[in-house]
Amino acid sequence: MEIFLQQLVNGLTLGSIYALVALGYTMVYGILGLINFAHGEIVMIGALSALAVCTALGNTLPAPLVFMIGLCIATCVCMALGWAVERIAYRPLRNAPRLAPLITAIGVSMVLQQVAMLFWGRSYHAVPALLPSSIHDVLGARIGDVQIVIMLAAAIAMIGLIILVKRTRLGRAMRAVAENPQVAALMGVDADRIIALTFVIGSALAALAGVLVSANYGIAHYQMGFLLGLKAFTAAVLGGIGNLGGAMLGGVLLGIIEAMGAGYIGDLTGGFLGSNYQDVFSFLVLIAVLVFRPSGLMGEKISERA
């Protein structure tokens, strides 16, 4: 039971980070039908640039303030980056064959990784513990302040996003463009601008996710974005890609599945497989979802039109 609770807490923490990243995938997919392969790298840049800011500030200010400044600057960096990536790599290919933007996205991903490598090198960076770090015991499970902050921050960001999309003019325009870009353009919506904004908003969430994930593990690295991005994409597919609520649900579910899997795989296989197979779970979930319910948990069934 303790293991179960503990893994549930770990899963929820991880899951809320996946959900944040998954939102970025799902927003771009919803509006462009494109998998933004480079999204994971934006998360990585967010984590590393926040780290750079925090290291530069050192002990000059109170720790939580340093954390907030780092987060804000990282968010700005990522928003600018998201905008630039869309502008340089994707916009010119709006009408190209389907594979073209995907291949470009792989290229962007490689470039971002190498540029980060140039700035931060190949080594793992320890992330200073700027958040409160006391640990609470709840029914035998250990919950850290960091984990609580992560879940709260993710929840607030997601509520904010939902309000943005459902209640504001910008959100309406986004939904219109996702529905039909041509018609939206006829109605006076500047589709290009909306698409760029979608990338920018997704990147802001990615920056937050990057900062949170590095706070959770206490480590940042120029290759950290790849696997995280892949899992978040899985979460988006699990929830039903293109669907905001689905991305959140999928993220949390995937986090829990992964944590439970890691917690119990040893017992289940009689010690044959260990928790080092943790990463396999998300891929198995991805394959299973795509085979049995390609539209995801909350997605609508889309049949290909003749």
Partner 1 sequence: MNKIKPTRSLLTLFAVLRGDALRKNHLGIVLIAAALIVLPFIVGMGIGNAWMRMLDFAVLYVMLALGLNIVVGFAGLLDLGYIAFYAVGAYIYALLASPHLGIAFPALFPGGMHWPLWAILPIGAVVAGIFGMLLGAPTLRLRGDYLAIVTLGFGEIVRIFLNNLNTPVNFTNGPKGISGIDPLVPGLLGSNGLYAAYYIFVVLAIVIIIVTLRLENSRLGRAWVAIREDEIAAKACGINTRNVKLLAFALGASFGGVAGGLFAGFQQFVSPESFGLFESVMVLCMVVLGGMGNVPGVILGAVVLTVLPEVFRRWAEPMQIALFGKTFIDPESLRLLMFGVALIVVMRVRPMGLLPASRRKAELEQHS
> Which one of 14, 19, 35, 257 is in contact with partner 1 (CB under 8 A)?
35
What mask, x for binding partner 1 by CB under 8 A, covers residues 128 to 157? ------------------------------
CB within 8 Å of 44: residues ≥ 6 apart: 112, 113, 116, 210, 220, 221, 222, 223, 224, 225, 226, 228
Take residue 77 and report the two structure tokens written for it.
Answer: 């960096």
Q: Which residue has the tokens 């939102």?
A: 23
C-alpha distance from residue 210 to each of 3, 21, 216 (Å): 27, 9, 10
* Total binding residues toward partner 1, as defined by CB under 8 A: 50
**Of 62 and 92, which has the nearer Cβ to partner 1?**
92
**Of 108 and 248, which has the nearer Cβ to partner 1?**
108
Binding range to partner 1, per CB under 8 A, among 76-84, 177-185, 243-251, 265-273? 265-273
> Which one of 226, 245, 260, 297 is in contact with partner 1 (CB under 8 A)?
226
**Of 41 and 211, which has the nearer Cβ to partner 1?**
41
268 binds partner 1 (CB under 8 A): no
CA distance 204 to 55: 21
**Of 4 and 226, which has the nearer Cβ to partner 1?**
226
Q: How far is the CB of 214 from partner 1 (least distance, A)?
A: 22
> Which one of 230, 245, 266, 293 is in contact with partner 1 (CB under 8 A)?
230
C-alpha distance from residue 217 to each of 30, 201, 227 (Å): 31, 25, 14
**Of 190 and 283, which has the nearer Cβ to partner 1?**
283
Give 251's strand partners: none
C-alpha distance from residue 237 to each of 105, 154, 171, 271 (Å): 18, 19, 22, 31
Q: Cβ distance 214 to 50 under 8 Å? A: yes
With CA atoms as reference, report the closest residue to 8 among 275, 269, 277, 257: 257
282 binds partner 1 (CB under 8 A): yes
Q: What is the 3-state secondary structure (H, E, C) of 150-209?
A: HHHHHHHHHHHHHHHHHHCHHHHHHHHHHHCHHHHHHCCCCHHHHHHHHHHHHHHHHHHH
234 binds partner 1 (CB under 8 A): yes
**Of 245 and 266, which has the nearer Cβ to partner 1?**
266
- Residues 80 to 119 in contact with partner 1, rule: CB under 8 A: 88-89, 92-93, 96-104, 106-111, 113-115, 117-118
Give 125's strand partners: 220
**Of 132 and 274, which has the nearer Cβ to partner 1?**
274
Q: Which residues bind partner 1 (CB under 8 A)?
A: 34-35, 88-89, 92-93, 96-104, 106-111, 113-115, 117-118, 226-227, 230, 233-234, 237, 271-274, 276-277, 279-280, 282-284, 286-287, 290-291, 294, 304, 306
